[in-house]
Amino acid sequence: MKDLYDKFAYDYDEFGPIEAYLGDEKTFLNKIFSEHGVKNVLDCACGTGQHLLMLAQLGYNVWGSDFSKAMLEVAHKNLHNRGCTIPLEQCDFRFLEQVFEIKFDAIVCLTNSLPHLHTDEDLLTALRSMKNRLSKNGLLILTQGTTHFTLSLPSIEVVVNRPDFSRIFVKENDDRFQTIHILDLFHSAEHLESNQYDIVYRILLDEDYKRLLSQAGFTNIRMYGDYKMNNYDAKSWRLIVVAESLE
């Protein structure tokens, strides 16, 4: 599998510093974890480490893994610079059991990470691997910005707009896939550079998750449309999936 983030990793945090996550997301995860008595959490697509930092600061025991060595290198640096030591492993989330012997109370796979897999076969392999690494009554949380509503928005989006840097998403959709062309433009006097990264996501919506998670053996599958726990609907900006592994 190709690492789509091998170069993008080093500029990924131009989205904003890793502390700059939404407060609502923190409240959401903390609430749901507290209700389920979660202590140990694996972020299996940890990227540059923003959720690892957040969850460690909330007092959870956290582990991070990601397929991309470059993302892990940036995560390690980000966490080290903030005085935070968290075990980080390179691992494809289809094969978590090859790296992790322990089981977790919760596994998170956040911000459009699972849709990097394009076939039902790969998606089921990943969901089964996640289930396999969950303890009894363990929780799986998946989040993404792809929703029925966001798929209907204009195809060009300015995501970061600073005097020295702009990040623009140009999106192309068909029935099954969404390609995001990420255009990074550094435009200060000191730094003139442009980069393009192209990421193809499988479009997975509420019914797809219900089907795949059920097939992988998850139960109690819930879909939220925001971090305030409103149900997912046609106007949602986010799709947040919570499922349980009862065995």
- Interface with ligand SAM includes 8 (CB under 6 A)? no
Number of residues that bind ligand SAM (CB under 6 A): 17
Q: Is 110 in the site for ligand SAM (CB under 6 A)?
A: yes
Nearer to ligand SAM, 51 or 238 (CB): 51
Based on the shown chain and the rule CB under 6 A, indicate whether residue 5 belongs to the binding site for ligand SAM.
yes
- Residue 65: left (phi > 0), alpha (psi -120 to 50), or beta? beta
Segment contacting ligand SAM by CB under 6 A, of 109-117, 164-172, 176-184, 226-234: 109-117
The answer to the question of residue 47 lying near ligand SAM (CB under 6 A) is yes
Residue nearer to ligand SAM on the CB measure, 30 or 137: 30
> Is residue 67 involved in binding ligand SAM (CB under 6 A)?
yes
Out of 56, 62, 63, 68, point to the residue binding ligand SAM (CB under 6 A): 68
Binder among 60, 116, 218, 225 for ligand SAM (CB under 6 A): 116
Q: Which tokens go with 135?
A: 């303890």
Which secondary-structure segment (H or E) carries 171? strand 165-173
Instruction: Confirm or reject binding of residue 45 to ligand SAM (CB under 6 A).
Output: yes
* Three-state DSSP state, 185: strand
Closest CA to 184 of 158, 208, 204: 158
238 is a contact residue toward ligand SAM (CB under 6 A): no
Q: Under rule CB under 6 A, which residues in 157-216 are in contact with ligand SAM?
A: none
The residue (of 137 and 183) whose beta carbon lies closer to ligand SAM is 183
Cβ of residue 148: shortest distance to ligand SAM, in angstroms? 20
For 139, the enclosing helix (H) or strand (E) is strand 134-144
CB-count burial class (<10 Å; 0-12, 13-18, 19+) for 89: middle
| Residue of closest CB approach to ligand SAM | 47
Token couple for 122: 């790969």
156 vs 162: CA distance, rounded Å? 17
Query: CA 83, CA 81: separation in Å to the nearest integer?
Result: 6
Q: Which of 104, 63, 108, 114 is nearest to 84 (CA)?
A: 63
> Structure tokens of 87?
């075990």
Q: Which residues bind ligand SAM (CB under 6 A)?
A: 5, 45, 47, 50-51, 66-68, 71, 92-94, 110-113, 116
